[in-house]
Structure 1
Amino acid sequence: MSAAVGEIPESMRCSVLRAAGELEVQQRAVPRPAPREVLVRVGAVGTCGSDVHYFTHGRIGRFVVREPLVLGHEPSGRIVAVGTGVDASRIGQRVSIEPGVPCRRCRYCHRGEYNLCPDIAFFATPPFDGAFSEYVTIADDFAHPVPDSVSDDAAALLEPLSVAIWANRKAGTGLGSRVLVAGAGPIGLLVAQVARVQGAAQVVVTDLDAGRRATALDNGATDVLDPRDGDPAARGVDVDVFVDCSGAPPAVTAGIGAVRAGGTVVLVGMGADEMTLPVSSLQSREITLTGTFRYAETWPTAVQLAASGAVDLDRLVTAHVDLDHVADALSPDPAAAHVKIVVRP
């Protein structure tokens, strides 16, 4: 550690997932920044559906919790120490952390597709610890400065905002686009907001919950639909882009049916590992179908959207908890009752 501000403690508190449904607050050594790394005192960490899934099931697909794991991959905070090779003037800087550091050497990294790097070290993805702790280290170029006009909560939520930016990039959303979004959770709401910022003329959001549909109207949606009232296409919805943020097979099938010939479908929500798709419809109408996996080079845009007020992240935060009550935030029922719960270590 080449430079630090004040006294850095030897130990810190962390919320550790020991097994599915079992969290424990532990004392661990405060990490020391390696060369080209910074040490961040964590100010806020957003909770995510993946955290809930790891807490509930102990795994997501091929990623299995085999050793104690610190969850949380949406952190913000303040740099309190830097490793060698990092300008000491960064100490004291408020930052939003991009939680996945790629190898920088593989063919995907060289193509700028570092989100697809097979050796990426991503917070809260086994075996890499996340940020439900008092301190974390991160590569210096993945600690993005944020202005004081962006709150700690909003700086943490630049991560889900980046998911929404990436989804809209993959969708090709632009001026006059007509967009359908399935799912009015945090990601769906942010996809809707970003779509409107990028010039979409129509953003229709579907969700089973009436409260979430109402929230969507305050977060970029021009129209909302209850899927139980019929498929969007049967109700006259005809869009250029469909973004699924639900992961529900019926929602995916219904959304595809509302996309114009030559349009685009983007799968963001993680639900069933396999599902049946209307292949003949996709083929005969030349619809582009793609998925998303995290993001790449989105933080500069995310910072600008939050700092300018073009996207309102603070309004998504509906509750706060400390490290002693992370389990309350990750229990499926309480989590479903909120838009976004933020942990403040």
Structure 2
Amino acid sequence: MESISNKKTNPSLVLEKLQSLKFQNRPIPELQSPYDALVAVKFTGICGSDVHYWQRGSIGPFIVKQPLVLGHESSGIVTQIGSKVLSLQIGDRVALEPGVPCRRCTLCKAGTYNLCPEIAFAATPPYDGTLAKYYSLPEDLCYKLPDTVSLEEGALVEPLSVAVHLVRQGAVNPRSSVVVFGAGPVGLLCCAVARAFGAPKVIAVDIQPGRLEFARGFAATGTFLPAAGSDSSENAETLRQENALGLGADVVIDASGAEASIHTGIHVLRPGGTYVQGGMGRDEVRFPITAACTKELNVRGSFRYASGDYQLAIELIASGKVRAMELITAVVKFEDAERAFEDVKAGKGIKTLIAGVEDSK
């Protein structure tokens, strides 16, 4: 990778082409509106979608056709504000919500701006992401962090907001038994949010024993390792029995995208239960539709986050109800970003952060 030492430009980590990352010194973003702010990015988490674009070049309809700056899980410090910005000051520490909706369509006006067809989301083709020295956003998408919340934790507000939205989609409450499939960062955070919402029983499911061990110490009240060679119905029955779920779980959240998890999740639900799909695997999978129909399940999708999710995520960290810092297993220098991507691809650790350009010196 080339040098990133030029202080007068905007060093950025760019997916130049499939499986090829490089540093580029790009122009510092100019404020496009008097309501915008410029932020010096301090920490950025590596998301599975970043790795997916790097390795495969597309996710569903989103295809990388030109060089793309990666990253969307970021925090930073405000360095410039537009003339009409009222809620921010230079020097404020902020978490960045990396999607700018149109604000005019029916979906935006309903508060479901995550579904806006015109949303410009960071590191989703063709929009550049936040793995750069500077990034600009409208002021209302820059959330001030309380003094008790670190900038490292601020970078985890984005994946935590995904988990908040998933748990909200499941209408989890203090009477809910919840099963979460996938003990990666989002799945683990779903466990924590479900507990914060009062769920007394939260079971984490994964095929990696080490992740299950972490899940139990982090937020899950129980864990389940699917038996190799057993079908989804058998695993669902064992999961019910081992965790005293009676007729089944009230809510299932899938954060894995694996077809086997989807099947087991549908079968482990009680009649009238709620299934929430958040993990994205293959574009199309087989689905146990008869079980979903005969049990009259509520089946819901979940995509990113919407109105109120980001602020609630910050409050959950600030209150100590979600111990987000425990997920961070590595913080690497900006110059070492490619190695960090390799480590995440290899499944090392839980959440890796890349420090901002200034922090890496």
CA distance in 2 between counterparts of 1:302 and 1:327 reads 29
What corresponds to 2:288 in structure 1?
278
Query: What corresponds to 1:26 in structure 2?
Result: 24
2:81–2:88 Cα contact (<8 Å) kept: no
SS at match of 1:266: strand
Match of 2:98 in 1: 99
Distance verdict in 2 for CA 1:186–1:335, change over 3 Å: farther
* Residue of structure 2 aligned with 1:313, choices 324, 333, 337: 324
Q: Give yes or no for contact 1:99–1:123 (8 Å, CA) kept in 2.
A: yes
Q: Give, in whole Å, the separation in 1 of the partners of 2:346 and 2:128.
A: 22
Matched with 2:165 is: 166
Q: CA deviation at 1:232?
A: 2.8
Superposition RMSD on alpha carbons, in Å? 1.4
TM value normalised by structure 2: 0.91
Could you tell me whether the CA contact under 8 Å between 1:39 and 1:135 is conserved in 2? yes
Q: Distance in 2 between matches of 1:262 and 1:334?
A: 38
Letter aligned with residue 342 of structure 1: L
Shift of 1:89: 5.7
For 2:14, what is the secondary structure of its paired residue? strand
Q: Secondary structure at the match of 1:13?
A: strand
* Partner SS, residue 227 of structure 1: coil
Question: What is the aligned partner in structure 2 of residue 302 from structure 1?
Answer: 313
What letter corresponds to residue 212 of structure 1 in structure 2?
Answer: R
Confirm or deny that 1:339 pairs with 2:350. Answer: yes
Query: Partner residue of 1:177?
Result: 176
Residue 76 of structure 1 aligns to a residue whose secondary structure is: strand
Alpha-carbon displacement from aligned partner over 1:176-208 (angstroms, at most 9, x marks no partner): 210001110000000000000101111111111
CA distance in 1, matches of 2:268, 2:67: 44
Aligned residue for 1:218, secondary structure, equals helix
Deviations 1:213-262 (CA, angstroms, capped at 9, x unpaired): 00100121111111126513234242000000110001110111010000
AA aligned to 1:187 is: V
Aligned residues: 337
The residue correspondences of 1:94-133 to structure 2 (distance < 5 A) are: 94-133=93-132
Of 16, 19, 26, 2:14 maps to 16
In structure 1, the residue corresponding to 2:111 is in which secondary structure? coil
Question: What's the CA shift for 1:329?
Answer: 2.0
* Shift in Å, 1:277: 1.1
State the one-letter code of the partner of 1:92. G
Q: Is residue 267–residue 292 contact of structure 1 (8 Å, CA) maintained in 2?
A: yes
Q: What amino acid sits opposite 1:185 in the alignment?
A: G
Q: Which consecutive unaligned segments of at least 5 residues does structure 1 have?
A: 1-8
Instruction: Write the distance in 2 (CA, Å) between the matches of 1:64 and 1:331.
Output: 21
Q: What residue in structure 1 maps to residue 3 of structure 2?
A: none
Letter of the aligned partner of 2:331 in structure 1? H
Contact 1:25 1:323 in 2 (8 A): no
2:261 matched residue in structure 1: 251
Correspondence for 2:69: 70
- Equivalent position of 1:292 in the other structure: 302
The list of structure 1 runs, each at least 4 consecutive aligned residues, that deviate by more than 3 angstroms after superposition, is 332-335
1:179-198 aligned at under 5 Å gives the runs 179-198=178-197
2:359 aligned partner: none
- Aligned counterparts of 2:165 and 2:88: Cα–Cα separation in 1: 31
Q: Using the alignment, how far apart are the partners of 1:222 and 1:88 within structure 2?
A: 40
| Residue 332 of structure 1, CA deviation | 6.4
**Superposed displacement of residue 15, structure 1:** 0.7
TM-score, length basis structure 1: 0.95
Distance in 2 separating the partners of 1:176 and 1:318: 33
